[in-house]
Structure 1
Amino acid sequence: MPDFVFLLIIIALVFVVFSFILSIIPLGLWISALAAGVNVRIITLIGMRLRRVPPAKIVNPLIKANKAGLDLSVDKLEGHYLAGGNVDRVVDALIAAQRANIPLGFERAAAIDLAGRDVLTAVQMSVNPKVIETPIVAAVAKDGIEVKAKAKVTVRANIDRLVGGAGEETIIARVGEGTVTSIGSAESHKAVLENPDSISKNVLNKGLDAGTAFEILSIDIADVDVGKNIGAMLQTDQAEADKRIAQAKAEERRAMAVAQEQEMRAKVQEMRAKVVEAEAEVPKAMAQALREGNLGVLDYQNLQNIIADTKMRDSIGKSDDLGKEKGDK
């Protein structure tokens, strides 16, 4: 019985030791690499474990690359992984590029991947171009009519300009700018509606893909609509502004006329006050003339008669004017 227990303990120890060795040395992965014709040393796999690099993420892409006929080394793949790259995606991109006869080396593919771009998608886009749909762009033709257009841009990835090249947002912005320029240079909105392809031709000839990561293959106008009559709206606004200016000037002239009228009334009041003041001086002057003997009693009586006659004539004239007014009514 003790021998049996001792045997079980030995078997358990052997199993533990063997499991520990397998956790450090990936024998299964090493055997798979040998079966695939990839020469990977055991010490290399152990070094990956010590550098905390999953051996499967290096060996499996290496096997795939070897079967596709690519000449890649373990050091390159491990270095790209340690730099933060996606080894499997880079290898898939290299295989796709080789099948499509696209010149793409490992260093450039790794640089594209580390730059944050999907290198596999870029290779696929080089083979199968992508269609980018722009938002609706509104512009005004020379006749003042607003035209709304939406374009579809067919682009192909440019592998050589993926690192440092502008993205889709730049393409959309440039196409929108070119569309606005083309519509704005049209003589009328009817010309745009009749020949929408003129917009795409003008925009395509501007070389809008310069400095971008794409190559523009074609620009097609998907939809063209007529918008508002901007010219008429601007003329209406201008007329309304002119009307307000004229009203302001008229109000200014009216205010000036009222001010002048008030000023004239003030002058008349002032003149009447002076007349009253002068009339008040007449009796004083007459009294002074009587005292000094310059004016006789008969002269004074004649003057009073003249004044009385003048008042009588004024009253008669006023009564005649009232009678005429009543007759007119």
Structure 2
Amino acid sequence: MRSIFLGGGTVFLALVLIILFFSFVPVGLWVTAFFSGVKIKISDLIGMKLRRVRPSRIVNPMIKATKAGLDIKIEELEGHYLAGGNVNTLVDALIAAERANIPLEFERGAAIDLAGRNVLEAVQVSVNPKVIETPNISAVAQDGIEVLVKAKVTVRANIDRLVGGAGEETIIARVGEGIVTTVGSSKTYKGVLENPDSISKVVLEKGLDSGTAFEILSIDIADVDVARNIGARLQTDQAEADKRIAEAKASERRAMALAREQEMKAEVEAMRAKVVEAESEVPLAMAKALKDGNLGAIDYYKLKNILSDTDMRESISKVTKDTKKD
């Protein structure tokens, strides 16, 4: 009984070890790779497990690459995976480039993928050009009329400039700048409406794809609409501004005139006060002159007559002025 028990325990232990081995070592994946022509060792699969790499993420793309006739080492795929790249997408891009006769090496494709760009989409755009539609671009001709231009830019991916090259936003911005410059150099908006293709020709000659990840194949003007009369609006705003400046200057002059008038009134009142003060001293001076004998009685009466005559003339002049007003 004891030998049977020991024999049964050995079998159970062996069964557990076999189950653990097959759960840790992807034997099925190794068999698939073997019959697919991929030379890989069981130890390599175990090493992937120990390096926390899912073997299927490496072996399956390797099978695709081998069947497509690509010369790729499994160590390169594992290194790209550990660097954070998308191995499956990279292999698909290399296969697509091989079928389209596009020169794309593994190192360049891996660099494009690690740079954050979709390398498969880049290859597809290189084979099948992409159309980028710009938003409505506002431009003003020399006659002051605003036009809204919408363009369609056909681009093809440039594999050599994908790493470090600018994206679609730069293409749209440069095309917009070229449209604004071209329309701005046109004398009238009618010329823009009559020959919209002249815009695309001028913009295309500027070499706007320099330093970008794309090659511009064509620029087509999709729509041109007439918008506002910017020139007339600017003239109206300028006239309104000139009017406000003139009103401000007139108000300033009016305020200065009022201030000067108040100063003159104050001066007149001061002079009147001095005259009244002087007139109040005249009787005293005359009395003193009579007392001292410097002024005779006849001279005094003559002075009185002169003052009476002056008062009469002033009264007559006031009556005449009032009559003319009525």
Normalising by structure 2, we get a TM-score of 0.90
Q: What letter is aligned with 1:241?
A: A
C-alpha distance in 1 between matches for 2:199 and 2:311:
94
- Once the two structures are TM-superposed, the CA of residue 208 in structure 1 deviates from its matched residue by 1.0
- With over 3 angstroms needed to count, the CA separation of the structure-2 counterparts of 1:53 and 1:295, relative to structure 1, is closer
C-alpha distance in 2 between matches for 1:132 and 1:287:
112
Q: Which residue number corresponds to residue 23 of structure 2?
A: 23
- With over 3 angstroms needed to count, the CA separation of the structure-2 counterparts of 1:154 and 1:304, relative to structure 1, is same
C-alpha distance in 2 between matches for 1:110 and 1:2:
62
- Once the two structures are TM-superposed, the CA of residue 55 in structure 1 deviates from its matched residue by 1.8
Q: Which residue number corresponds to residue 297 of structure 1?
A: 297
Q: What letter is aligned with 1:37?
A: G
Q: What letter is aligned with 1:145?
A: I
- With over 3 angstroms needed to count, the CA separation of the structure-2 counterparts of 1:6 and 1:247, relative to structure 1, is same
- With over 3 angstroms needed to count, the CA separation of the structure-2 counterparts of 1:135 and 1:317, relative to structure 1, is closer
Q: What letter is aligned with 2:265?
A: R
Worse-superposed segment, 140-149 or 299-308: 299-308
**Is the partner of 2:225 in helix, strand or coil?**
strand
- Once the two structures are TM-superposed, the CA of residue 121 in structure 1 deviates from its matched residue by 0.7
- With over 3 angstroms needed to count, the CA separation of the structure-2 counterparts of 1:303 and 1:75, relative to structure 1, is closer
Matched, 1:165 2:165: yes
- With over 3 angstroms needed to count, the CA separation of the structure-2 counterparts of 1:317 and 1:197, relative to structure 1, is closer
Q: Which residue number corresponds to residue 230 of structure 1?
A: 230
- Once the two structures are TM-superposed, the CA of residue 161 in structure 1 deviates from its matched residue by 0.9
- Once the two structures are TM-superposed, the CA of residue 49 in structure 1 deviates from its matched residue by 2.2
Could you list the per-position Cα deviations for residues 21-65 of structure 1 after superposition, in whole angstroms to 9, with x for gaps in the alignment?
Answer: 212332222222222222222222222222222222222111111
- Once the two structures are TM-superposed, the CA of residue 304 in structure 1 deviates from its matched residue by 3.1
Query: Where do residues 210-289 of structure 1 align in structure 2 (5 Å cutoff)?
Result: 210-289=210-289
- Once the two structures are TM-superposed, the CA of residue 314 in structure 1 deviates from its matched residue by 4.3
Q: Percent identity?
A: 68
- Once the two structures are TM-superposed, the CA of residue 235 in structure 1 deviates from its matched residue by 1.0
Query: Where do residues 21-170 of structure 1 align in structure 2 (5 Å cutoff)?
Result: 21-170=21-170
**Is the partner of 1:150 in helix, strand or coil?**
strand
Q: What letter is aligned with 1:116?
A: G
Could you list the per-position Cα deviations for residues 172-228 of structure 1 after superposition, in whole angstroms to 9, with x for gaps in the alignment?
Answer: 111111122112221121211221222211211111111111111111122222222
- Once the two structures are TM-superposed, the CA of residue 274 in structure 1 deviates from its matched residue by 2.9
Matched, 1:179 2:179: yes
C-alpha distance in 1 between matches for 2:318 and 2:42:
138
- Give unmatched runs, 5+ long, in structure 1: none
Matched, 1:193 2:193: yes
**Is the partner of 1:131 in helix, strand or coil?**
strand
**Is the partner of 1:192 in helix, strand or coil?**
helix
Q: What letter is aligned with 1:47?
A: G
- Once the two structures are TM-superposed, the CA of residue 99 in structure 1 deviates from its matched residue by 0.6
- With over 3 angstroms needed to count, the CA separation of the structure-2 counterparts of 1:312 and 1:142, relative to structure 1, is closer
**Is the partner of 2:88 in helix, strand or coil?**
helix
- With over 3 angstroms needed to count, the CA separation of the structure-2 counterparts of 1:110 and 1:288, relative to structure 1, is same
Normalising by structure 1, we get a TM-score of 0.89
Tell me how large the CA RMSD over aligned residues is: 2.5
- Give unmatched runs, 5+ long, in structure 2: none
Worse-superposed segment, 36-45 or 130-139: 36-45
C-alpha distance in 2 between matches for 1:316 and 1:49:
130
- With over 3 angstroms needed to count, the CA separation of the structure-2 counterparts of 1:12 and 1:313, relative to structure 1, is same
Could you list the per-position Cα deviations for residues 214-261 of structure 1 after superposition, in whole angstroms to 9, with x for gaps in the alignment?
Answer: 111111122222222111111111111111111122122222222232
Q: What letter is aligned with 1:202?
A: V
**Is the partner of 1:224 in helix, strand or coil?**
strand
Q: What letter is aligned with 2:68?
A: A
C-alpha distance in 1 between matches for 2:127 and 2:5:
67
Worse-superposed segment, 121-130 or 6-15: 6-15
- Once the two structures are TM-superposed, the CA of residue 91 in structure 1 deviates from its matched residue by 1.0
Q: What letter is aligned with 1:150?
A: K
C-alpha distance in 2 between matches for 1:7 and 1:21:
21
Q: What letter is aligned with 1:36?
A: S
- With over 3 angstroms needed to count, the CA separation of the structure-2 counterparts of 1:23 and 1:198, relative to structure 1, is same
**Is the partner of 2:54 in helix, strand or coil?**
coil
C-alpha distance in 1 between matches for 2:43 and 2:312:
146
C-alpha distance in 2 between matches for 1:87 and 1:28:
21
- Once the two structures are TM-superposed, the CA of residue 103 in structure 1 deviates from its matched residue by 0.6
Worse-superposed segment, 60-69 or 254-263: 254-263
